[in-house]
Structure 1
Amino acid sequence: MSAKKIPRRQAIPILYTRGTHYDVGFDMGRTFGSMIRSFLELCGPLNETYLPLYDQPEGREIYNQTLESVKRSFPQYIRELEGVADGAQVEFHKLFLLHMDDITPIALGQENLIPAAPVGCSDIIVNNDSFRILGHTEDALSAQLNHYYFVVADIISDTPQGKYNVKEEKFMSLCYAGHLPGYTMNFNRHGLVFSINTLSAANLRSGKTPRHFITRALLSAQNYDQAVTILRDSGVGAGDGCSINMTFLNNNDPFTFYNIEMGPVEQGANESPLDIKVINNNEHNFHCNSYLRLPVKEVGGAIVDSSVARMETFSSYQPPKTKEDVIKLLGDQTNPPHTVFRENGDVDEYVKTIALGVFDCINKTCTLYSDNPTTNEPLAVISMQL
């Protein structure tokens, strides 16, 4: 049976690792090497778009500009990704191209090479005295089904690292095979809990910081002000955009959630544009994969259509107030083809919900599912106290 034909597995691997950035990356690559190599073989955008463009002089120039920019800001995360490549015995440039995502084709004016697909995630925040919940579906290319894992890392450096002078990081993050932590659902030792929605801006920037590296840096944030500083990325700015749903379990009085829309840096600027929405007590929030507040031109098509449909599904329910309400909404499949929980049984379906997490910020637990939560028991309930 080929890797592509493996049906949904009831399994979420977890790796505990400690060391330098390179050490932690190497452990991820060595432990999940077969999974990473399998995903690289199956990844359509990598093999059909990113690698052919990389082999052209113009594409290689965009790659080199972006790599050098990230090295200047976050050399430690480049070493971490080099560790993943060495541990998995795969080429580094393939992994870095995955982190650049659609920057290369859009920067080259070849948007036609990007599949018009409803890629992205759905998030629900409920903030009241009894339930403080962040629920997140991890929606990705179907090739990423069974190609992900959780990493619990304790990274210790002898000297301050990168533009924010970080010496130690401790976090848990879901990782797509071959990817750095941070661009999914996560929490760190400072009480930061956050999840990501992919947003597809029409104008992406080469030579800037890919969103994957900005959210990787977010795992080091100790408080709200540091988190916003990291997202702004002053001096460079984001090359592409996303939405961040976040809160801090510590020092929240009153308890507050945030939804932050981050856009790619504007032409001639050097800082990510942000729109910050505060979700106070007795409020809730939904977010999917289109810009709701930040005035950013989007690519349009299936990703926006799907996002609009899922938001309409959420709005058709009574406002969520409990954990059970959140689970019901995230497992909803009543509005095909753009259902909230994406799974029609076809292993070749382009986009699937590959995992789901419900963060209980009062009890400090993360409940993990690998299948629809309305019909399946969770695979694990993990403490968020690192």
Structure 2
Amino acid sequence: MSSGKILPRRQAVPVLYTRGTHYEVGFDMGRTFGSMIKNFLILSNPLNETYLPLYQSPKGRQIYNETLESVKESFPQYIRELEGVADGAEVEFHKLFLLHLDEILPQALKHQPRNKNQPTGCSTIIVNQKDCRVLGHTEDALTETLNHYYFVVAHIISDKPQGKYNVKEEHFMSLCYAGHLPGYTMNQNAHGLVFSINTISAELLRAGKTPRHFLTRALLATSNVDDAFRVLKDAGVGAADACSINFTFLLDPRQMCYNVEMAPSPERKDESHLSIREIPLGEHNYHTNQFDRIRQDQANELMIDSSISRMRTFGGYRPPTNEEDVRHMLGDVSGGHYCVWRDNGRCDEPVKTIAVGIFDLKSKTVSLYSDNPSLTQAHCTLPFILNK
């Protein structure tokens, strides 16, 4: 279903500053970007061709409800936030929640084909040198997502502790796909956390567990490395699907960066399986959209092919030592069908790079690009949100 029209790449990065309760912040996102959210719901092929038809089946509705109740038990505040988005945009809540379930519903129903022919994903480069500490990230998504995103700077204050980790206040910035919660892209919070996400299409997915979108949303509330690992492990429930998290805390005296591969655990069904790689000062790291360390089957062969191609491209460069190196690498178009920067200028391309973020950990700024960062200037450079 594609009754909407995919527009040419817009040279704009919408930014919203908002403050309030979880519901109020969600409502502001929905109200401000309502037309964009409505149009994205029309354009989204996975939603309209797969998720909604499965949701209409009795078994699909059961899986939806089981997962929704599990998230409500752990993170009721983020359900209220998503309800605020739905109310503000005047769209149905279940459509937004289905987007956050992603491939969990079709996999739980053994529905074929899954989203196997669309190599979506992202590329992340970490440079952790004494004179240059940078996290650079491309946001790659289905072509209908182009122009359907915004950057949110939010300050959330609750009158009582919220969710399983008793959080009362959150202050962060995050790029959001239209209708989605913050957290599952590139992000920074007031405790000095900087992180980006690479989707991984695991074959093993679990209904009734915590979707990755909600675990990374909860990551925005963490204040130190141990907090971050605790959220990702999700003891008592566990991740429903897989991704890679690249992160650091600015106040960490070791100046350590991390790559964490997170997946549903095949042995322990009540917590996530994590593989943690430390990236100490003096080193760099690349990650795309495949397991590099976890030994689990992956569902999306084209995503793996794309990941291998992008990693091969990065391997052809000398190790990056500055921001300019990172921008050139993330703007590379030499990889043939599976380039790092993806945009052939046509609407028939299934995946495009929709945005790029360059987080400078020393200057404490993020530069946002809506076009190739090796050829254009940043649309804006924002200071980090940091507690005083």
**Interval of TM-score (by shorter of Structure 1 and Structure 2):** over 0.9
SS at match of 1:284: strand
Q: Shift of residue 265 of structure 1?
A: 3.1
Matched to 2:264, the amino acid is P
**Aligned residue type for 2:177:** Y
> 1:49 touches 1:114 (CA, 8 Å); kept in 2?
no
2:149 aligned partner:
148
Contact kept in structure 2, 1:205 and 1:240, CA below 8 Å? yes
Matched, 1:21 2:7: no
**Distance in 2 of aligned mates of 1:4 and 1:314:** 34
Q: Distance in 1 between matches of 2:246 and 2:112?
A: 28
Measure, in 2, the Cα distance between the counterparts of 1:150 and 1:116.
29
Q: Secondary structure at the match of 1:25?
A: helix
- Deviation by residue 1:105-150 (Cα, 9 ceiling, x = unmatched): 0111114142421100000000111100100000011111000001
On the 8 A contact 1:245/1:258 being kept in 2, the answer is yes
The equivalent residue for 2:187 is 186
SS in 2 for 1:121: strand
Q: Output the CA distance in 2 between the equivalents of 1:139 and 1:127.
A: 24
Q: 4+ residue stretches of structure 1 with deviation over 3 A?
A: none
How much has 1:194 moved relative to structure 2? Answer: 0.2
After TM superposition, the structure 1 = structure 2 runs for residues 53-72 of structure 1, keeping only pairs within 5 Å, are 53-72=54-73
- CA deviation profile, 1:247-299 (whole Å, cap 9, x unmatched): 0112x222110000001232652000000000011100000000000112111
Q: Which residue of 2 aligns with 1:199?
A: 200
* Structure 2 match to 1:293: 293
The equivalent of 2:83 in structure 1 is 82
* In structure 1, C-alpha distance between the alignment counterparts of 2:5 and 2:99, rounded to whole Å: 19
Deviation at 1:91, TM superposition (A): 0.3
- Alignment partners' CA distance in 1, 2:169 and 2:385: 16
Native 8 Å contact 1:328 1:374 kept in 2: yes
2:137–2:196 Cα contact (<8 Å) kept: yes
Unaligned stretches of 5+ residues in structure 1 = none
Give 1:131's aligned amino acid.
C
State how far apart, in whole Å, the 2-side matches of 1:80 and 1:176 are.
15
1:268/1:231 CA distance change after superposition, 3 Å:
closer
Alpha-carbon distance in 1 for matches of 2:181, 2:144: 17
Q: Deviations over 1:77-116 (max 9, x none)?
A: 0000000000000000000000000000011111414242
Letter in 1 for 2:195: F
2:374 paired residue number: 374
Matched-pair identity in %:
62
Q: Which residue of structure 1 aligns with residue 43 of structure 2? A: 42
Task: Give the corresponding residue for 1:105.
Answer: 106
Task: Please state how far the C-alpha of 1:30 moved relative to its aligned partner.
Answer: 0.4
Aligned partner of 2:228 in structure 1 is 227
Question: Which residues of 2 match residues 184-333 of structure 1 at below 5 A?
Answer: 184-250=185-251, 252-266=252-266, 269-333=269-333
Structure-2 separation of matches of 1:89 and 1:67: 20
- SS at structure 2 position matched to 1:112: coil
| C-alpha contact (below 8 Å) 2:50/2:106 kept by paired residues | yes
Mapped partners of 2:375, 2:324: distance in 1 = 13
- Alpha-carbon distance in 1 for matches of 2:185, 2:264: 19
Partner of 1:348: 348
Distance in 1, Cα, partners of 2:277 & 2:344: 34
Give the equivalent residue in structure 2 for 1:167: 168
Equivalent position amino acid for 1:292 in 2: D
AA partner of residue 132 (structure 2): F
Deviation at 1:154? 0.5
> For the Cα contact (< 8 Å) 1:46–1:94, is it kept in 2?
yes
Aligned-partner residue type, residue 114 of structure 1 = N
1:92 to 2:93 alignment? yes
| CA distance in structure 2 between the aligned counterparts of 1:316 and 1:124, rounded to whole angstroms | 14
Q: Are residues 278 and 113 of structure 1, via their aligned partners in 2, closer, same or farther at CA, if it must alter by over 3 Å?
A: closer
**Superposition TM-score, scaled by structure 1 size:** 0.98
Partner residue in 1 for 2:339: 339
What is the CA-CA distance between 1:335 and the residue it aligns to? 1.1
SS at match of 2:259: strand
Alpha-carbon RMSD: 1.0
Aligned-partner residue type, residue 171 of structure 1: F
- 8 Å Cα contact 1:289/1:307 also seen in 2: yes
The whole-number CA distance in structure 2 between the counterparts of 1:352 and 1:212 is: 21
Answer yes or no: is the 8 Å Cα contact 1:169–1:219 preserved in 2: yes
TM-score normalised by the chain length of structure 2: 0.97
Paired residues of 1:4 and 1:347 also in contact (CA < 8 A): no
Amino acid in structure 1 at the alignment position of 2:291: Y
Contact 1:124 1:287 in 2 (8 A): yes
Distance 2:192 2:127 in 1: 18
Contact 2:116–2:302, Cα closer than 8 Å, also in 1: no
2:261–2:276 Cα contact (<8 Å) kept? yes
- Gaps in structure 2 of 5+ consecutive residues: none
